[in-house]
Structure 1
Amino acid sequence: MSYRALFAPRGAVGFTLAVLVARFPSGMFSLAATLLVTSLYGSYSLAGVGGAATLVTVALAGPWQARLVDRHGQSRVTVPAVLLATAGSLGVLLSLELHAPVWLYLMACAVSGLGPNTGSLARARWAFLHRGDEAVLHTAYAYEGVVDELCFVLGPLAATALAAGVSPLAGYVTASLVSLVGVLALATQRRTEPPASCRADAASGPGALRSPGVAALVLMLTATGVVFGTMEITTIGFAQAHGHKAAVGAVLACYALGSALSGVLLGLWKPRGRAVVRLRWALAAMAVTLAPLPLAGGLWTVGLLLLVAGFATAPTMSTSMGLVAELVPAGRLTEGFTWTTTGLLVGISAGQAAGGWLVDHAPAGTGYHVPALAALVALALSWRLPRRSVSSRPDETAGERLSVQ
């Protein structure tokens, strides 16, 4: 499937550019916050707990916010949400600079997590623009995975460069401002926003989490999130222990680069067989490629291993998001995407907290034992997914329902 068909509808390029700006900071925030906290307080535990507070808010508020989006539309919900998140980010900066009590810092971190989930917003727009065309939607979800990974290739590099070349504050401030500008720009792209007819049933009926198979998928992605969260903060500590903290952005980018490359190829490949089976193979590959990490003797060996391991990430995430569109009713599509992202972020939060504790209290690299184990847990949880795709109405998937609207 060519990418040309993906961008053919009017407005597709415009909303894609806006989303790209809005999502770019997603690859900056975590590392920028960690570099800022450790430069001021020297504590990876405090950085990990702060990141956890942010992601817990995302986990709690995200599905509720997504339901409002399905009910009232993207632009009416995302603008106040990003303004609140920006205010929270400002609070984080002030609390750290003024050495405020830890509880105040954690509260500000929590408020900063109220921003909209731009990845879910983008996937919902693709589902509307290409309703009923499963081949193009497969390419769309693969493309979204590539965009995510590019953000995590360039984001850490930008955060590190700003922290080292300007000040530890610069990376976090830049991420907050870019996120604000991007979301506001996306809110102006009304042509590609799912119309009221696609949100007619959002106010009634069971939530997306109650759709058969969705809860199992969320649990699986929670375990997958532990992989990402532990790996990131362990790599930061490992780099500092080896005297190369300034290079950590490039090393983390290796993982995202591997995933981005596999995502591009995945978007050109016509999928065969059941999505659940492809997902299990991807999770198995993730576990196998992450297993050698504890044996790495240096930072650049870690980078090489992460590059290889990254090739299993895009198939895992793209197939997972494709399953969402098959499992949930169309009127809950944004909510469905947000629940899976919430599970992922809860796992990242737990991984960051656990990894931060291991960095502070265990030998460098100890946390590298966790990612492969977490991937195996995710693989085991994937067996709870239904054998066949289902929806709230057996004869009507989300894609089919959108196609008749």
Structure 2
Amino acid sequence: MFKFYNDIWQVPGVKGLLIASTISRFPQAMLSIGIITMIVQQTGSYWLAGALAGTYSFSCAVFDPQISKLVDRHGQRKILPLVTVFSVAMLLALIIASYYQQPSALLFILSSLAGIRPPMTSMVRARWAFLFRGQPLLKSAFSLDSVVAEIIFIAGPPLAIYLSTNVHAEAGPLVATVFLCTGVILFLLQRKTEPAIVQKKGEHHESALKTPGILIIIFSLLAMGFIGGAVDIAVVAFSNAHNSPNAASIIIALYALGSVISGLAFGAWKTHLKIEHQFLGVTTMMMLTSVTLLFISSLPTLGFSIFIIGLTVAPTMIIAMDIGSSLLSQSKLTEGLAWMSTGISTGVASGGALAGIFIDQYGIHSAFLLIVSAGIAIAIIGALGFSGLRLYLAQK
């Protein structure tokens, strides 16, 4: 069943890429929560902590596609060292400024500048696409990548919290900064997997967003991310309402576990279904699994529902990334992958924020309705985009 993973493992450079990419992406899971924990430990201010973390995340979302566009033009080896040095300097400045209780305005400026960082998720996925583009192995490669990402986001936040609460307030962001610097160096040493620079005359002046069909993929990933962000808030609220706050971490872990299991299985699944049919299928399944939230009455039923919703996450992301990499030209690949990642992160942020507002205003079950609505939205996107994707993919 896992022959494809063995085939991937045998490709020269893949082992080094996997190790380096794992280390270099840990900061993405650690820095936001690390900033929150650091500021809370130092000042006790939750609003300042959340606002600074939000500023950092928003800055990442704004600058990631632009940095990726520069990478498409000039190559990872030229752009990533410069961006990494700048981001590391700004992160260290933020840590020092917060330690010495500098004015909030300075902290906000440094948080926004720290977000001008190497967008490692799109860098890694561009390498997978470069290695296996047009091959069945690409789906397995993206599956492996999605599993690694889930593991990182399971392990990263608890590590950052532990360091800042048990070692030193600044330890979480500081260790994440060390991971960033070390990971990028190791990543750039993997020369065998680095994508070649391909430029077509006049093409680099246009955004990857103008690629036919790519917006269908980005909006579907935004809806998927929205579900994930809303699930986090809804699970915490439901667990607190049932006087079992610790159950929230277990249930959220079930969401990630479902994604890991399905990601491994889906990547090893050999099918003759065309990729646009697979996209229609996974988006429909995400809608159907989200509907189970309408029948929640207890923590066990919530855990089961969240687990089966999680089963649809990795396949949806894998198929979306596979289609996106097929639609994009090589000269726009990294930028396009960055826009897709931005779609996910924007969805997560907006889903969490809107779910929180709904819970405060209308109660916990309104958040479940919100998640179901997002599930319906992604199914509609899949259905409406089906014909277009089939046409655009046929032209490639």
TM-score range, shorter chain: 0.7 to 0.9
1:388 to 361, 382, 390: 390
Residue 275 of structure 1 deviates from its aligned partner by 2.3
Distance 1:84 1:378, change over 3 A: farther
Q: Distance in 2 between matches of 1:219 and 1:241?
A: 33
Correspondence for 1:325: 325
Distance 1:103 1:349, change over 3 A: farther
Could you list the per-position Cα deviations for residues 334-389 of structure 1 after superposition, in whole angstroms to 9, with x for gaps in the alignment? 11111111111222222233345557777567644433322222222233421415
Residue 86 of structure 1 deviates from its aligned partner by 2.8
Correspondence for 1:64: 66
Residue 319 of structure 1 deviates from its aligned partner by 0.4
Contact 1:47 1:356 in 2 (8 A): no
Q: What letter matches 2:231 in structure 1?
A: M
Correspondence for 1:401: none
Q: What letter matches 1:6 in structure 2?
A: I
Contact 2:122 2:338 in 1 (8 A): yes
Residue 264 of structure 1 deviates from its aligned partner by 0.6
**Secondary structure, aligned partner of 1:115:** coil
Could you list the per-position Cα deviations for residues 77-131 of structure 1 after superposition, in whole angstroms to 9, with x for gaps in the alignment? 1122223333343455456555555544443332232222222111211222234
Correspondence for 1:189: 190
Q: Distance in 2 between matches of 1:355 and 1:38?
A: 23
Correspondence for 2:5: 3
1:16 to 12, 15, 18: 18
Q: Aligned runs of 1:196-345 on 2, under 5 Å? A: 196=197, 198-199=198-199, 204=204, 206-236=206-236, 249-293=249-293, 302-345=302-345
Distance 1:48 1:293, change over 3 A: farther
Residue 283 of structure 1 deviates from its aligned partner by 2.5
Q: Distance in 1 between matches of 2:88 and 2:143?
A: 29
Correspondence for 1:111: 113
Contact 1:232 1:252 in 2 (8 A): yes
Identity %: 29
Structure 1 vs Structure 2 CA RMSD: 3.2
Q: Distance in 1 between matches of 2:167 and 2:292?
A: 36
Distance 1:115 1:205, change over 3 A: closer
Q: Distance in 2 between matches of 1:356 and 1:29?
A: 22
**Deviates further, 141-150 or 35-44:** 35-44
Distance 1:80 1:375, change over 3 A: farther
Q: Aligned runs of 1:98-137 on 2, under 5 Å? A: 102-132=104-134, 134-137=135-138
Greater share of residues in helix: 2
**Secondary structure, aligned partner of 1:226:** helix
Q: Aligned runs of 1:73-92 on 2, under 5 Å? A: 73-92=75-94
Contact 1:15 1:189 in 2 (8 A): yes
Residue 22 of structure 1 deviates from its aligned partner by 1.0
Q: What letter matches 2:353 in structure 1?
A: A
Contact 1:52 1:350 in 2 (8 A): no
Residue 27 of structure 1 deviates from its aligned partner by 2.9
Which structure 1 segments of 5+ residues have no match?
A: 398-405
Taking structure 2 as the reference length, the TM-score comes to: 0.85
Q: Distance in 1 between matches of 2:68 and 2:336?
A: 8
Distance 1:172 1:205, change over 3 A: closer
Residue 26 of structure 1 deviates from its aligned partner by 2.7
Distance 1:140 1:291, change over 3 A: same
How many matched pairs? 392
Which structure 2 segments of 5+ residues have no match?
A: none
Correspondence for 1:159: 160
Distance 1:97 1:281, change over 3 A: farther
Q: Distance in 1 between matches of 2:292 and 2:120?
A: 34
**Secondary structure, aligned partner of 1:270:** coil
Contact 1:156 1:252 in 2 (8 A): no
Correspondence for 1:139: 140
